[in-house]
Chain A
């Protein structure tokens, strides 16, 4: 018993092996993290100076002008609110509708279940393209309105398939036992299934929110004439497009030493802004990915 309490003593070979593994892993971590770190460093360095090279761990000429170029326009405040609103509302609606539909599809006795699956899979692989989609949105009077960001994405076909598979993994006995107690379908879904669905809810929520946060395409194509609902991602794309072409006014500003930004420095600043919110939110969702399903619920 005493021997079991003792730690197993490591041999010299074990220590050498451990050291080698740790060294390799440090190298792997560094090679994964360093490019991102360099991008952050370069985004805080003068763009013109950065092109000369030789920047590794700290900005040589510290500046906030790259970020300033992105936020100079007062519309950024409004764009931030629009982006936040679409992310929160869009994610909530997507999670809600996806789970509802998926739960229904997970029932084997659902009428026309096979037809629905075939329909969804077909729609996942084939689409009409941008122009028919545009015409559809116009017919639904969604163009140039905030709801164009949210409504079309309410139901994600890919996540329906994933969530359906998840719900099928939940033992039927849970629902049966609730039915025997007189619970209806809605009550079962709300009180039993949803609490168990936190992992899948978190998964759908994180991917959907990232998609909403970074999506500029719908703002560019489907909200062309309503500048009040433009998103941050759209503004960042516009800034990057403008900075990538020389024009006489910009050159003159560069010549006067006033403008020291380059396409690359602005793109890096935009990348940091795009990634930062998700980086902050991700750790809070991570624990849901590893939560067990039916711990202590039912013994078959």
Chain B
């Protein structure tokens, strides 16, 4: 009797255990309802209410959406693991709430796979701020399209055609599910005195003066100076760079080579693979020449940006590849080693234009879990407005900044001190720039640069051309095998060129270059060029209509 009781208990436990292992296959309907309830809970105001929507244009602020005393809370997932903040606190967020009646509840990603898990399990927050997975999220089942919400709620929001075209490049239909932040058209750059964020070469002007201040107008002039540096200071490397950021991009441009992977001169032209052109070979030849002459070390291909920075700051390098984003102030520790050091920016060493293909940085998606889509789209409209952009990036006019004669911001003493103390994010928190402007970002960067940099920046800006159709037409996840082929090509170009550049002599260069071309041919990049021809042609015509 006892034995049969034991056996029955054992059987029951075995059945229970097996059933328990299938609990994950619960009905999605029940979970969806509970998620809906949780979604509602997430967007209630501080007092537990939904937050009264006053509507556009009420009160002192024309952007008022909710009630600042009882703001509408929207959850937002910041899909940037490097983001320095995770709280909606500080002077700028308080001002945003005061003007709009909206409060954000941010959660920052620790791993880039988190968003995928949230999306697959249907646990998305109200908003997602991301620079990745834009094609995956541009789906009608997952997110609201901006045009749908603008039409539905009758918003008076005139979005430039180019920005809409940029966003549509990621969507499977004729809707756009976001507006990319930090976008600037060629017309925008023509109106400003700031400089786009591109690669540049910084060099020690004080050392150049010791060499007699020879003129550097071409690459050959630069190479002559490098020889002089090696002769005078044998322990100093003429040039360094980091593979983490800008590689050898300035030399690409100065060798007459595009920075893009495709070249197409017009909508009726055929697309070519940039890595197979003579200009690219010329760039590799120039870099190999620099390597053979000892102008840089092979180690640089494994360096991160901090190593390159430390190298020049310790006086071990004459020049370094940086960017217009980081002015001379980013290398201040150089004065510990060389108190009289002066860094300057190299002006463009060729007439070849600096061709970029940029359609912006990050997107804010309004998910289908969002219980306040109207408030969310109005909030996005505010963030993309000039007032919203200036507030989120510069702070309050008259308090954090004032505008000088050039239209650049002059920041307050307190703002500058907070940057020195590394408390800017805590006190002001200028990180909710979901509608950020690239021009404003550039203008705040250029405000404090020395005059010598402004002259070079003007030259760089004048040579800069943005051709967004390349980014528009680039294969995306929805393109299946073409995306795989494109990624293979990018990887092959990035890694393959290293061996060519590090050839010991000209004969080895020729061999390695041929091998590089053969490898590209073996993955059928020409078929990719054929695929891209009609896409680029269509994209060029689309953007031409926007001009």
Report whether chain A binds chain B. yes
CB contacts (< 8 Å) of A135 on chain B: these are 24, 26, 31, 121
A225's nearest neighbour on chain B, judged by CB, is: B107
B326 touches A139 (CB 8 A): no
Stretch at the interface among A76-84, A167-175, A196-204, A241-249: A241-249
A237's nearest neighbour on chain B, judged by CB, is: B110
CB contacts (< 8 Å) of B326 on chain A: these are 246, 251
| B372 to A: closest C-beta gap in Å | 17
* A133, B111: Cα distance in complex, Å: 17
Which B residues between 100 and 156 are near A, CB-CB below 8 angstroms?
105, 107-111, 113-114, 117-118, 120-121, 123
CB contacts (< 8 Å) of B109 on chain A: these are 220
A244 touches B82 (CB 8 A): yes
A17 contacts the other chain (CB 8 A)? no
CB contacts (< 8 Å) of A260 on chain B: these are 333
Q: Which of B21, B83, B117, B330 has the most CB of A within 10 A?
A: B117
* A289, B83: Cα distance in complex, Å: 45
CB contacts (< 8 Å) of A187 on chain B: these are none
B331 touches A241 (CB 8 A): no
CB-contact partner of B421 in A52, A242, A258, under 8 A = A258
CB-contact partner of A245 in B10, B17, B82, B108, under 8 A = B82
A138 touches B121 (CB 8 A): yes
Stretch at the interface among A23-31, A92-100, A108-116: A108-116
| A197 to B: closest C-beta gap in Å | 23
| B136 to A: closest C-beta gap in Å | 14
CB contacts (< 8 Å) of A219 on chain B: these are 110
* A217, B110: Cα distance in complex, Å: 9
Given contacts A237-B110, A238-B110, contact A140 B11 (CB under 8 A): no
CB-contact partner of B419 in A48, A123, A136, A256, under 8 A = A256
A33 contacts the other chain (CB 8 A)? no
Stretch at the interface among A8-16, A124-132, A157-165, A273-281: A124-132
* A234, B110: Cα distance in complex, Å: 8
Which B residues between 27 and 72 are near A, CB-CB below 8 angstroms?
31, 42
Provide the A226-256 mask, 1 if CB < 8 A to any CB of B, else 0: 0100000010011001101111111111111
* A248, B449: Cα distance in complex, Å: 14
B13's nearest neighbour on chain A, judged by CB, is: A112
Which B residues between 70 and 94 are near A, CB-CB below 8 angstroms?
75, 81-84, 86
B477 contacts the other chain (CB 8 A)? no
B403 contacts the other chain (CB 8 A)? no
A249 touches B24 (CB 8 A): no
A264 contacts the other chain (CB 8 A)? yes
B306 touches A51 (CB 8 A): yes
B304 touches A132 (CB 8 A): no
CB contacts (< 8 Å) of A241 on chain B: these are 81-82, 110
CB contacts (< 8 Å) of A209 on chain B: these are none
B307 touches A111 (CB 8 A): no
| A21 to B: closest C-beta gap in Å | 38
CB-contact partner of B24 in A110, A128, A242, under 8 A = A128
CB-contact partner of A220 in B21, B114, B306, B331, under 8 A = B114
CB contacts (< 8 Å) of A111 on chain B: these are 6-7, 10-11
Given contacts A128-B24, A246-B305, contact A253 B419 (CB under 8 A): yes
* A264, B108: Cα distance in complex, Å: 22
* A110, B121: Cα distance in complex, Å: 39
A263 touches B419 (CB 8 A): no
| A30 to B: closest C-beta gap in Å | 27
Which B residues between 398 and 444 are near A, CB-CB below 8 angstroms?
419-422, 424-425
* A68, B342: Cα distance in complex, Å: 32
A262 contacts the other chain (CB 8 A)? yes
CB contacts (< 8 Å) of B214 on chain A: these are none
A224 contacts the other chain (CB 8 A)? yes
| B498 to A: closest C-beta gap in Å | 23
Given contacts A52-B310, A136-B24, A254-B330, contact A242 B84 (CB under 8 A): yes
B332 contacts the other chain (CB 8 A)? yes
CB contacts (< 8 Å) of A244 on chain B: these are 82
B14 contacts the other chain (CB 8 A)? yes
CB contacts (< 8 Å) of A237 on chain B: these are 110
Q: Which of B82, B110, B118, B120 has the most CB of A within 10 A?
A: B110
A257 touches B23 (CB 8 A): no
CB contacts (< 8 Å) of B305 on chain A: these are 246
B31 touches A252 (CB 8 A): no
Which B residues between 271 and 325 are near A, CB-CB below 8 angstroms?
304-307, 310-311, 313-314, 325
B121 touches A264 (CB 8 A): no
A130 touches B331 (CB 8 A): no
* A225, B424: Cα distance in complex, Å: 25
CB contacts (< 8 Å) of B108 on chain A: these are 238
| B500 to A: closest C-beta gap in Å | 29
B235 contacts the other chain (CB 8 A)? no
A51 touches B24 (CB 8 A): no
B6's nearest neighbour on chain A, judged by CB, is: A111
A262 touches B306 (CB 8 A): yes
A242 touches B83 (CB 8 A): yes
* A262, B309: Cα distance in complex, Å: 11
B24 touches A139 (CB 8 A): yes
| B448 to A: closest C-beta gap in Å | 10
B75 touches A225 (CB 8 A): yes
A-B contacts, 18 of them at CB < 8 A, read: A48-B333, A51-B310, A111-B7, A116-B14, A128-B24, A133-B24, A134-B120, A138-B31, A138-B123, A216-B110, A221-B111, A237-B110, A242-B84, A251-B329, A251-B330, A255-B333, A258-B422, A263-B306
Closest 4 CB pairs of A and B: A51-B310, A245-B82, A136-B24, A220-B110
Task: State the B residues within 8 Å of A (CB).
Answer: 6-7, 10-11, 14, 17-18, 21, 23-24, 26, 31, 42, 75, 81-84, 86, 105, 107-111, 113-114, 117-118, 120-121, 123, 304-307, 310-311, 313-314, 325-326, 329-333, 419-422, 424-425, 445
Task: State the A residues within 8 Å of B (CB).
Answer: 47-48, 51-52, 110-112, 115-116, 119, 123, 128, 130-136, 138-140, 216-217, 219-221, 224-225, 227, 234, 237-238, 241-242, 244-260, 262-264
Sample of 10 further A-B pairs with CB below 8 A, known A48-B306, A51-B310, A112-B11: A52-B310, A135-B121, A136-B24, A139-B31, A219-B110, A241-B82, A248-B325, A249-B419, A253-B421, A259-B422
